Amino acid sequence: MKKTLKEQDPLVYKMIKGEEKRQEEGLELIPSEIAASNAVIEALGSVFTNKYSEGYSGKRYYGGQEFADSIETLAIDRAKKLFGVPHVNVQPYSGSPANFAVYTAICEPGDKVMGQSLPDGGHLTHGWKASATSKFFDITQYHVDDEGYLDLEEIETLAKEHKPKMIWVGATAYVREFPFEELSKIADKVGAYLIADIAHIAGLIIGGVHKSPVEYVHVITTTTHKTLRGPRGGMIMVTEKGLKKDKDLAKKIDRAIFPGLQGGPHDHQTAAIAVTLGEAMEPEFTEYAKQVVKNAKVLAEELKRRGIKLVSNGTDNHMLLIDCGFGRGTFLSDALEEVGITLNKNTIPKDESSPFYPSGVRLGTPFVTVRKMKEPEMEKIAEWIYRVTQEIEKYKFPQIKDYRGKVLKKFKEELMKNEELKNIRKEVKELCKKFPLYK
């Protein structure tokens, strides 16, 4: 007898339904999160969960691969067509493993690598000191200028000085369009591989609202969630420029994934990626991508109009960074969560506080755009954020570490008693009812 999840494990079922309710009744503004379609979720929960497929299509170490081969080939073909690249690997378990595979394929331990500093918006895997990448490679980090744009003059100076084997372009908290062409010229001058990590902007590139790096870089990595609206997975793409630099680059990438870093791919994840890429080929996807950026720009303007300080004074993509003042990112993120608005605390350029208590918050528009929210809703969201900032304005983050625990505990206790926050929570729920996720 087949049992449903509810029958088999009512405790897990209850947790899943609780998360579903949380998403339905709140505003998800974390820019790396999005609502996958029912079709993607169905593929992810399919019988491909049962299959083991070490190797690549046509070259597996296990039998019974007819449909696993077909689904992986389909995902690859769709990615090639969407991004205009000659080679794609869809087996990375996620973005960080994809990035480490690029290191493995191109570099030897100790090689020089450049990447964007984490407080300036870069990703951990681009060489930040807490990442394993900084242990195995000689890392130089570059920064943004006082306006929040990549400091191309500094990048070129550092590249000429250090002559890195590889340069990363891409970020986890950068609100401006990436200057792929300018960085390509810098990389070419020093003979470096230029790697674009487009995890955050992949969907925007497909939708035509962000410049594509394909013409300018050697390798591209991406996650398949975020703006691409798929399952949690990763892809690595090799460009024509990459193959001209090294005709064996695609083979090196594939070997780095398997057998270098991973065992069998997650076939259910590959199936969901194939569905995701099929959805991205539809005209509706382009309209969604355009609306994501429109919404982000309107949200930015509405926040600024209310006196809220934004890093770089705006956005070119789906993401915004609010400068909350020294260490106060935690205050704003916690207070917004109390009203059903979810975002994440985040470092800002030249942050004087620690990454554990950063001075900013990061927010974005992909999730609410999938819910069909548009400019009028962005104005409402901006007003709610402003009202929350007013409620917590009196709280200051302690410079002295010993006081921080007590201050944060008291802050959270007072949040739960705040009547204005309770009123905003009701208003947020009412809006969310008008824009259901899966109903």
Does the active-site annotation cover 62? no
User: Active site residue: 232, 252, 294, 374, which one?
Assistant: 232
Choose which CATH entry (3.30.450.40, 3.90.1150.10, 3.40.50.300, 3.40.50.1000) describes domain 288-433.
3.90.1150.10
Catalytic residue among 25, 33, 52, 60: 52
Q: What is the pLDDT of residues 392-402, one digit of tens each?
A: 999 999 888 88
Question: Alpha carbon 324 to chain centroid distance?
Answer: 22
Active-site residue among 72, 197, 323, 338? 197
Whole-prediction pTM: 0.96
* pLDDT tens digit sequence for 406-423: 889 999 999 999 999 999
Q: What is the share, in percent, of the chain residues with pLDDT greater than 90?
A: 96
- What is the per-residue DSSP string for 411-432? HHHHHTT-HHHHHHHHHHHHHH
Q: What is the pLDDT of residue 1?
A: 61
Tens digit of pLDDT for each residue in 350-399?
A: 999 988 899 999 999 999 999 999 999 999 999 999 999 999 999 999 88
Q: Which fold has domain 43-280?
A: Aspartate Aminotransferase; domain 2 (3.40.640)
Closest Cα partner for 186 from 211, 216, 213? 216
Look up 52 and say whether it is catalytic: yes
Active site residue 430: no
> What's 60's DSSP letter?
E
Closest among 366, 202, 374 to 280, alpha carbons compared: 202
Active-site annotation holds for 223: yes
Please confirm, yes or no, whether 315 is among the known catalytic residues: no
Q: Please check the confidence at residue 328 and state whether its pLDDT lies above 90.
A: yes
Q: How many CB atoms lie within 10 A of CB 11?
A: 7
Q: What are the residues whose beta carbons fall under 8 Å from the beta carbon of 30, sequence distance 6 or more?
A: 342, 343, 344, 362, 363, 364, 367
Cα torsion for 407, 411, 413, 417, to the nearest 10°? 150
Establish whether 111 is a catalytic residue: no
Under 8 Å between Cβ of 183 and 167: yes
Cα angle: 371, vertex 377, 382; to 5 degrees = 120
Q: Which element (helix H / strand E) includes 239?
A: none
pLDDT tens digits, one per residue of 22-39: 999 999 999 999 999 999
β-partners of residue 59 are 56
41's tokens: 């979720």
> Mean of the pLDDT values across residues 289-312?
98
Phi-psi map region of 337: left, alpha, beta (phi>0 left; psi -120 to 50 alpha): alpha
Each domain of the chain, given as residue ranges in start order, spans: 43-280, 288-433
